[in-house]
Amino acid sequence: MKKLKELEKTDLEKSRQLMEFYQYQITFVEKHHKEKLESSTACSMDSNGMDDIEGQFLQIINQVLERIQVIQDDSQARSEGGLDSCCGEARKTRLLPKRSVKILDGWFTDNISNPYPSRDQTIRLALDCGLTVEQVRKWFANKRNRSRNNRNQYFK
């Protein structure tokens, strides 16, 4: 959580998204574990169940740490190359990272019949891609419009 607090200083929105993801995942694991405990008898619970939940918690923590590292690397790359050498103003980057576009395009292709990610899916995609939720929403809106335009051209 220390790294998450550090990230909060530089990128508040991504920090909040990661915290939301972390809390959602932990709650899901705890709920699943509780249901498992209630369905089994109290005396049949052994240390394997505790090892399982600890492993899931560690996996979630590792996912969050990996995403923090990706965000920090992106932030560092932007700060090193983000200034225009001639006038000292920050330049706008219009292209998303190729890795992010590949992930988003994969989701779009897999869900072509209904290319509208839910709120949870949008948050997860944003975290996976190292983007903001707003960037993901706009990417999908643009992709749907471009796909619609391409389909219309074929039918003319």
Asked if residues 11 and 71 have their Cβ atoms less than 8 Å apart, the reply is yes
Structure confidence at residue 18 (pLDDT): 83
Structure confidence at residue 144 (pLDDT): 95
pTM over 0.75: no
Nearest CA to 11 out of 138, 145, 131 is that of 131
Structure confidence at residue 85 (pLDDT): 45
- State whether the Cα torsion 105-20-72-138 is positive or negative: positive
- Kindly report, residue by residue over 33-42, the tens digit of the pLDDT: 888 888 875 5
CATH topology of domain 98-155: Arc Repressor Mutant, subunit A (1.10.10)
Domain ranges within the chain, ordered by starting residue: 2-81, 98-155
Structure confidence at residue 84 (pLDDT): 46
Find the distance separating the first CA and the last CA of the chain, reported in whole Å: 56
- State whether the Cα torsion 18-20-23-27 is positive or negative: negative
In angstroms, the CA 92 to CA 128 distance is 22
Nearest CA to 17 out of 140, 123, 129 is that of 123
Structure confidence at residue 47 (pLDDT): 60
Structure confidence at residue 68 (pLDDT): 80
In angstroms, the CA 138 to CA 122 distance is 11
Structure confidence at residue 156 (pLDDT): 56
Spans of the chain below 50 pLDDT:
43, 83-85
In angstroms, the CA 111 to CA 65 distance is 29
Structure confidence at residue 65 (pLDDT): 80
